[in-house]
Each structure stands twice: as C-alpha cells, then as structure tokens.
C-alpha cells in the first residue's frame, strides 16, 4: 500500500514535469509549426500574454510622481482605481512572473523616465577648501603676519634685491607646509568617500527575463521585481506581488517600532524598511530621490570621518603638548626681548644691536618681528598637529589594505578598537567551516545505506536544493522558476523516502506546487530547530504535514518510523534509544544531522487546519552532512590565542557536533579544555544566575544549541567582566549582539542587510581568517600611532629644550624660522607617511591585548625618546656654543652644521621608531617601500636646501668632511637606541 503510494507520487511529479517542459517548448517556439505524417499540429497562441502586450498603456505616459505619492501615502483607493498591482505591472511593461526584459535599451529607457536608484549626496569638498582650512590655522596666520612684516621692513632697509629673502623664505616655507597638509587631507577625504560608497553598495535579488539574479542596489529600476527575505532592506518604493508571512519594520521612516504586515490588502512597501519575517516579491514603482527614503538619505548620509576615541585622545595629547609649547615660546620671546632692549644682544660683528635712540626704527622692528617669528615657529614645532594626521593616514591606509584582505570597515573606530579585543565570539557555519555540505552518512529508519549509489543520490538531491532551487536547511525560500526535480535512483523504498525528503525540503518547487496546495508554512524556528509545511493534495481530502530540522528535535516528535522495506513501525523506548545513539555518534564525527518526518491526516468537515501538528509524526530518515573546517582556520585560531585573545564558538548545532568542530578548529584543546564547563548549551547558560554566568564565562569555549538571545547574553556578560568583545553574526536576530559588542563583524556573503548595518566591519568572504586579519590590522594601527608619537615627541622635546637654553644663554635660537618649518614638515607629513604605513607583523600577534584605558605613551616609549632627545640636545648645544672652535669654521657654516645635524638626527631616529622594543630596527625594512621612499625624499631635499637654496634656507655649502661629521653624529643614535633597549623597564599587567 505504502509502496504504491510512493510510486504514485513519483509518477505524478515526473509526468507533470514532462508535460510542463513540453508545453514550454511549444509555447516558446516562434517559427511555423512542422507537420508529421502521423499527427496534425495545432498552433496554440498565448492569448493572455498577447493581450497584455497589446495594451496601449506605456510607462512613457506615466507620471512618476503619481506612483511615488500613491505608495508613500499608502493610498489604496488610488491603487484600486488603476486596477491593482498587476495592472500597474502591465503599465510598467513587467511580466508578473518573468520580470522586465533587462536589456540595455530597456534599462536606459526606464532610467530616463523614472530616474536612477541613487541619492543626491552633499557635494564633496574640493582641494581649495582644504587649502583654505589649512591657512585658517591660528599659528599659520600669526606666522604669515610676521613674515609679511619681516618682508616689509627688510625691503625698506635693504631694498628689493636683498630685503625679501627672510620674509619671503618664511612665506614660501609656510605655503609648502600648508600645501602638503592640504594635499594629504584631500586624498584621505577622497579615500573615505570611496569607502563610504562601497559600504552603501548592497546586493539585492531581482527577477529579470525569468531568472533571479543579484545586482547592486544602484542598478534597481522601476518595474523590477525584487525578491525579499528576512534581514533584507527594501531598496526602493514598491508594491507587494506575492509571498508569505511578510512583515517589515518601518521604524527608520516613521519612528514607530510596530511591525507592519504586508499582503494583498496592504501592499505598500517603503524603501529603507527592513524585512523582519517571511519572504515575498515586490514590484518597484519609485527609485532614488522619488522614494520616501530618498530625501532622508540625501540629508543624513553616513559620514566615515567621525572622530574616533583614539583621535580624541590624540587631540587631548596634542593640546597638552601645545600648551607647553606656548609657555616655552612665551618664555623665549620674553628673554629675547629683554636681552635685546637691555643691550645684551650682539650682531655677527660683535656690536650691540640696540643702542637706545640711536637705533633706527626699522632695525628695531625687524629685530622684534624676527623674535616674534622665532617664538611662533617654536609653537609650530611644539604643537604636534601631525598626530591627528598620522592617525588619519594610518586609518585610511589600514582600511584600504583591509578591503584587499576581505574586511570592509564601516566605522573608523572599529580599526583601533579591534586591536584591543580580548575575546572573539564567532559563528561556526561558513566562518569556521566551508559551508559546503556533503552527505557522508544516510539512514533509512535505523539502517545505514553504505553504498556509493545512495551517497551520490543524496548529494544529487542536496546539490539540487542548494544550487537549482536556492534552498538551505534553515527555512523555506520561494523561487518562481525552479529547475526540474533531479533524477532519483535507487531501490523503490529509497526512491520513495528520498522523494518525500525532497518534498519536505522543497515544497515551493513549481512542479510540486501544481499537484499540492500550500496551506501553511512555518519558517525555521531557532528554538525548535525545525521548520515545516502543511499541504493538501489537489482534489483530495488528505492533508500532509512535513517537517525537517535538527535530528533530535524531529525524533522527539515522532511516534513511528519507516524501515528499509517501507513498513511503518512504532518507536518504542529501545528504538528511540537506538536512533538517539545513531544521532549522537554522527554528531561526534562533526556531522550535522538533519532528519525528515511527515504525517497524513484527513480533512475534518471541510475545515482547513491553520497550524502544523508537531506530534505523532512518522520518522522517514536522516542524513549526516559534513561541513569541513577551512584549512587555514586552525592556524588563525592559534594565532589569536597566542595573541592573548580568547575564541568562543557559538553555534546552533548540538553539543556533540559543536565539540567535535571546536576540537578540529583548535578552539578546544583535547588535553586542557574537555571539562564539562568548557562546552555548554544555550538553555543551560541562560538559566544560570547572573553570579554563575560571571563566574563561568571565562571557562566557556563553546556554546551549543544557542539562540541569538544567548549570544547577546554572553556578550553582555563578557563586557561586564571587563573584556573587549568582538562578535561575528549573519542573521537579523544577531543585530542586538552586533550592536552590543565593542566590535561587530557581519558576514558579507551569508549576512543579511540588517546584520551588516548593525556591524562595524563586514567580513566579505565569511572567513574567520579575515577576522584574524582585522585583529592584526587593528593592532597595527595602534602600534603605528605609538611609533609616530615616540618619533614626534623626541623632536618636540629636543627642539623646545634647545631653543629655550640657547635663548636664555646667548639671546639667539640656533635654528631659523625656515629651518624649523622644514623640520616641522619632516615630523608631521613625511614622518606620518613613513611610520603610519608600516604593515602588520607577526610580532604584533605575540603580545597581549592593549586595553583602551592603557596610556598612549608607555614606559618603553619614554625610555627611548628621553635617551634620543638628550643626545640630540647635547650635540646641538655643544655645536651652538663650541662648534666654531671645534670645526674651525665661521658662524654661518656652524649654523648650517647645526641645522644639517638636527635634520639628520630625525632621519636616523625614524629607523629607531620603527621598532619600539626590538633591538634589530632593520627587520622587514626592505618590505617597507613607503618608508624607504620617504627617507630618500627627505635626504634629497635636505641636500638641495643645504647646497643649493642658501638664501632660502639661510645655509652655507658644506664640504665632504663636514657632511661626514653630520652623518656620523646622527648615526650614533642607532647604537644609543640599541644600548638603551638593554635597560629593563617594568610593565604592569
């Protein structure tokens, strides 16, 4: 009896498929029909389709504003007057089942008439705006005023030919510094704009020319049929065509948190809303600026240039250092003025510069302007405006490289916060595994099918469900034009049970739908771990309930099962125990166990049931699906653990499968982590008391049978425990956990749009290795900033002390305004470019995480910079006071030696800054092409300034011996840096 029923079901499905395919071939034939000797063919026309094509209505005669207002106002009366959704589809030349033609000409015409699905963003700032902003800096304005005064009095005193050099040199130096800064900021702004556009470019599925295809949201046009599922964001305004249990969240538009059910009587769908339940197809009626979301998008466009926590800390540090610079500059100016007006300042000939009323007014003003300029230059050098620039460069460079490494940064703060992460809570499927299911075990009842034919058959069905139909084991997905049901081979019983397995998984296949009426679909439930469908055979009173899902959950609802011979038997205690053991053994092999069950019942008094029966089911069988771990995952996990970052796997699989996968990936150590507290189930975790959770949270490495609420609860507990938490998620229900985490990482392939919008970083390849890469880059950002801070503070400290001591002792500063501006350019822009673009190294992953409350300047950095600053101060002051006698040169050559040595000090110290702790500062130098290029550019410009720009830089040409002396003095900073690193420092844990 049962065998006959199976065969009848297979035969009906097969012949329906054959008839459908034959009819399609005939109807799609455009040429004349051929006759044969045995048959007479009849030319059958598609009356309905032809009649729709002959309608005179055209979308060229449609006012786009009419559709826009109707949907935005949800005017059902206007929709009824037009004739309904299908008539609007006809007006827009859209086939309800096949969508638009999708040809290039058709798409261009639609864009011309209705516009494109893009939004008018505020115009990007041009280069001149950045240049203007740079000139508005207070210190730059003061410096320019001093330069203009110096230029005026110099020309008045010495004439046009010789009087413009000092003031003109300052002006040119300021222009060069400002231009370089403006170019850098302009380029980074353009980079951020590109990243912003990339993060806004989401993918949607549309039906065109009878096929579903993914396209960019910007390519959606009016008339498109868009397929929407849970987690998607509606890309444009439109009308509901068909679907099931569709609910949307319009809170982003209306501010109301109530979910809105979408069906035939309420078909209006607004762009920007999010699908929270069900699935369906939507006809697009308005795009771009004509949508309800359009106006909001243009005014509230997300900006990637927000200030991050580290930028705020750097701004505060810059402010503190700047205040010190102001005080030093004021003190130097006071000392210089007092010495000048008391007659203690002498010129190059040894004569007093100020002789009371005998001194000309122009000379006095020139001297005063020079002193003010020197004080302002000290402020310019002291204020580390390069710190924010260095961070901007580091973030921009890191974001660009992370994109190449499959990690799209949506929020700047995530780059730096990721470097402080102490715990990563990761999904399993697709992240740790390949998400490529393969059947390795197949059971009919209690008997295993071990022949290759059965595996090939099962994998054939699985391949069909994943590729041809687009289904997964999580829920029902509708596809209007599916491929034909695959050929199923094997014994009659195997055919029958596999057919019902296909039926249970793929109830929305077109051929099946022709014979069965879908009454109710229950989507995959994360708590029940199963989903089902209730169908009724056409013309019959028999109702079928089909279930699929986690094996132990399905088994708990079953009271009978089919053996291999097709006989139905009762599941007693012994049989239930045997089946449970089979499931447990399969799970221990890291297999995902999916079971199928069904139930038949007669329709009672013509009443259609509205819910699925979950008990009294008949167990059909189960498959063991192997989802292999990614080959590189174990190495990435070991790298994270070596870096002091805990990895916790949160999965919906049962505890045995979860434990096996965790051991395979390296999250669980067979020797260390197999106690009962390392692996817990979500139901136990959520029933712990708050105190128990906090006590056990550090010991938990795997949480099985978890729900999104369990993941959120774990994140909250970890943060309460003091951890910096990174979380991966892909579903709509993961959004709360992604938002709650310090760093939310959504999946670019499996992830829904809701999950992506709730995250900080999108992992484009769904690979845990990319999560580890993001961690590596986060640490690199922090490390590069520390390198630059050490480098710049060394220059700041040395320059302030040198100028202060020299001014008090001799009444003159060793470095001129132009020379100090050149040093400032080395520190800020060039130094930032050199040190901020260092690539991450393996050494970064051998250190413990850096807490966000840790000081930016560590004891190790203080040790290094104090040693280098003291050496630079000592050498420069010795040259300032004794250089003339030591080298036997005049004062101008000695001043050039001081300037040249000071610049070379910074060049050599950049090498020291590359490695804060390691003694070998040349490790990986050849791979740092940007660093070497910047060093080369700095040296070339320095040689030009000393040898060729004598009047501009106020220098004298040096001979080979003098150049050798400068290089030798600067090179001594390397052995000093090496020796200093032997000094032990205490680092608090």
* Alpha-carbon distances of 976 from 182, 796, 870, rounded to whole Å: 36, 19, 11
Residue 33 CA to residue 26 CA, distance in Å, equals 9
324 and 800 Cβ atoms separated by less than 8 Å? yes
Dihedral sign, Cα of residue 693, residue 694, residue 696, residue 698: positive
* Alpha-carbon distances of 129 from 60, 143, 396, rounded to whole Å: 43, 20, 20
Q: Where are the beta strands (DSSP E) in 82-173?
A: none
Residue 397 CA to residue 785 CA, distance in Å, equals 13
Question: Most distant CA pair in the chain: distance in Å?
Answer: 130
Three-state secondary-structure class, residue 890 = coil
239 and 71 Cβ atoms separated by less than 8 Å? yes
Q: Which of 427, 653, 734, 766 is catalytic?
A: 427
| Structure token digits, residue 854 | 């840790």
Q: Where are the beta strands (DSSP E) in 678-720?
A: 679-681, 702-704
Q: Which residue has the tokens 């569709």?
A: 246
- For 837-851, give one letter per residue: b (16+ CB within 10 A) or e: bbbbbeebbeeebbe
196 and 304 Cβ atoms separated by less than 8 Å? yes
Q: Give the closest residue to 281 by CA, choosing from 481, 479, 48, 90.
A: 479
Dihedral sign, Cα of residue 795, residue 801, residue 805, residue 807: positive
| Structure token digits, residue 980 | 């200093």
237 catalytic residue (yes or no)? no
* Alpha-carbon distances of 524 from 442, 474, 477, 510, 527, rounded to whole Å: 22, 5, 11, 21, 9
Residue 345 CA to residue 339 CA, distance in Å, equals 6
Query: In 10 A of CB 835, how many CB atoms?
Result: 28
59 and 222 Cβ atoms separated by less than 8 Å? yes
Q: Give the closest residue to 497 by CA, choosing from 463, 539, 447, 451.
A: 447
Three-state secondary-structure class, residue 8 = helix
Q: Give the closest residue to 836 by CA, choosing from 913, 901, 892, 950.
A: 913
Query: In 10 A of CB 151, how many CB atoms?
Result: 20
Three-state secondary-structure class, residue 405 = coil
Three-state secondary-structure class, residue 650 = strand
Q: Which residues are catalytic?
A: 427
């Amino acid at each position: 009896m049962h065998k006959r029923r199976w065969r009848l079901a297979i035969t009906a499905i097969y012949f329906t498929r054959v008839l459908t395919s034959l009819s399609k071939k005939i109807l799609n034939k455009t040429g004349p029909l051929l006759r044969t000797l045995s048959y007479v063919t009849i030319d059958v026309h598609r009356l309905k389709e032809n009649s729709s094509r002959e309608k005179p209505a055209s979308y060229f005669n449609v006012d786009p504003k009419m559709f826009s207002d109707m949907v935005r106002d949800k005017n059902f009366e206007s929709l009824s007057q037009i004739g309904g959704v299908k008539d609007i589809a006809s007006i827009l030349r859209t086939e309800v089942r096949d969508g638009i033609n999708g040809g290039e000409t058709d798409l261009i015409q639609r864009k011309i008439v209705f516009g494109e699905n893009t939004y008018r963003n505020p115009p990007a700032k041009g280069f001149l705006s950045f240049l203007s902003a740079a000139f508005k800096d207070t210190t730059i304005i003061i410096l320019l005023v001093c330069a203009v005064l110096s230029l005026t009095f110099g020309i008045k005193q010495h004439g046009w030919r010789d009087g413009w050099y000092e003031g003109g040199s300052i002006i040119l130096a300021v222009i060069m510094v400002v231009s370089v800064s403006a170019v850098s900021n302009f380029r980074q702004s353009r980079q951020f704009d590109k990243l912003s556009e990339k993060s806004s470019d989401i993918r949607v599925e549309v039906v065109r020319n009878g096929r579903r295809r993914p396209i960019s949201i910007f390519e959606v046009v009016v008339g498109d049929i868009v397929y929407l599922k849970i987690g998607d964001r509606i890309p444009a305004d439109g009308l509901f065509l068909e679907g099931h249990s569709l609910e949307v969240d319009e809170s982003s538009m209306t501010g109301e948190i109530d979910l809105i059910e979408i069906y035939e009587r309420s078909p209006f769908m607004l762009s920007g809303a999010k699908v929270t339940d069900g699935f369906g197809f939507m006809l697009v009626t308005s795009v771009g600026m004509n949508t309800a979301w359009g106006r909001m998008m243009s005014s509230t466009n997300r900006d990637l240039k927000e200030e991050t926590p580290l930028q705020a800390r750097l701004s505060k540090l810059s402010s503190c250092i700047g205040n010190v610079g102001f005080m030093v500059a004021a003190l130097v100016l006071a000392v210089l003025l007092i010495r000048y007006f008391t007659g203690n300042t002498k010129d190059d000939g040894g004569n007093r510069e100020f002789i009371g009323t005998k001194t000309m007014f122009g000379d006095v003003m020139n001297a005063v302007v020079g002193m003010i300029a020197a004080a302002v230059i000290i402020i310019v050098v002291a204020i580390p405006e390069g710190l924010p620039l260095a961070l901007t460069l580091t973030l921009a460079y890191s974001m660009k490289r992370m994109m190449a490494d499959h990690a799209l940064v949506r929020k700047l703060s995530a780059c730096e916060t990721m470097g402080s992460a102490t715990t990563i809570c990761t999904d399993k499927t697709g992240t740790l595994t390949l998400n490529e299911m393969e059947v390795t075990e197949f059971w009919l009842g209690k008997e295993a099918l071990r022949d290759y034919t059965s595996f090939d058959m099962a994998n054939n069905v699985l391949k069909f469900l994943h590729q041809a139909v687009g289904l997964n084991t999580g829920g029902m997905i509708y596809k209007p034009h599916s491929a034909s049901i695959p050929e199923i081979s094997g014994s009659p019983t195997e055919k029958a049970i596999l057919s019902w397995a296909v039926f249970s998984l793929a109830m929305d296949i077109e051929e099946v739908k022709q014979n069965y009426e879908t009454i109710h679909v229950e989507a995959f439930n994360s708590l029940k771990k199963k989903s089902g469908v209730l169908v009724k055979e056409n013309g019959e009173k028999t109702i079928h309930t089909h279930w699929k899902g986690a094996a132990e959950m399905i088994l708990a609802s079953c009271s009978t099962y089919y053996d291999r011979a097709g006989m139905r038997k009762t599941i007693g205690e012994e049989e239930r125990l045997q089946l449970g053991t089979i499931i447990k053994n399969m799970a221990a092999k890291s297999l995902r166990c999916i079971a199928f069950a069904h139930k038949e019942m007669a329709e009672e008094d013509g009443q259609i049931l509205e819910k699925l029966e979950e008990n009294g089911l008949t167990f059909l069988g189960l498959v063991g699906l192997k989802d292999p771990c990614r080959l590189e995952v174990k190495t990435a996990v070991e790298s994270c653990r070596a870096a002091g970052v805990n990895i916790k796997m949160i999965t919906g699989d049962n505890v045995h499968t979860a434990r096996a996968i965790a051991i395979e990936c390296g999250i669980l150590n067979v020797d260390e982590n197999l106690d009962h507290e390392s692996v817990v189930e979500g139901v136990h975790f959520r029933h712990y008391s708050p105190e128990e959770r906090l006590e056990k949270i550090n010991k938990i490495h795997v949480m099985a049978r978890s729900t999104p609420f369990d993941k959120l609860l774990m994140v909250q507990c970890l943060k309460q425990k003091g951890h910096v938490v990174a979380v991966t998620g892909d579903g709509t229900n993961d959004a709360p956990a992604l938002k709650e985490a310090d760093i939310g990482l959504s999946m670019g392939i499996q992830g829904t749009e809701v999950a992506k919008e709730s995250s900080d970083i999108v992992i484009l390849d769904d690979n845990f290795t990319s999560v580890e890469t993001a961690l590596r880059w986060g640490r690199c950002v922090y490390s590069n900033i520390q390198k630059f801070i050490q480098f710049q503070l060394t220059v700041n400290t040395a320059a302030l002390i040198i100028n202060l001591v020299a001014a008090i002792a001799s009444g003159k500063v060793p470095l001129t305004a132009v020379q100090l501006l050149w040093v400032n350019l080395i520190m800020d822009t060039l130094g930032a470019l050199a040190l901020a673009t260092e690539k991450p190294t393996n050494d970064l992953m051998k250190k413990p995480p850096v807490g966000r409350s840790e000081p930016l300047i560590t004891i190790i950095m203080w040790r290094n910079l104090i040693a280098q600053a003291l050496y630079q101060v000592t050498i420069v002051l010795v040259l300032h006071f004794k250089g003339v006698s030591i080298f036997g040169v005049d004062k101008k050559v000695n001043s050039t030696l001081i300037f040249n040595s000071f610049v070379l000090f910074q060049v050599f110290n950049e090498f020291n800054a590359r490695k804060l702790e390691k003694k070998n500062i040349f490790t990986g130098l050849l791979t740092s092409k940007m660093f070497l290029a910047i060093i080369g550019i700095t040296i070339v410009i320095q040689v030009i300034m000393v040898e060729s720009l004598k009047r501009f830089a106020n220098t004298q040409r040096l001979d080979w011996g003098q150049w050798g002396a400068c290089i030798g003095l600067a090179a001594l900073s390397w052995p000093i840096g090496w020796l200093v690193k032997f000094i032990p420092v205490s680092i608090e844990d």
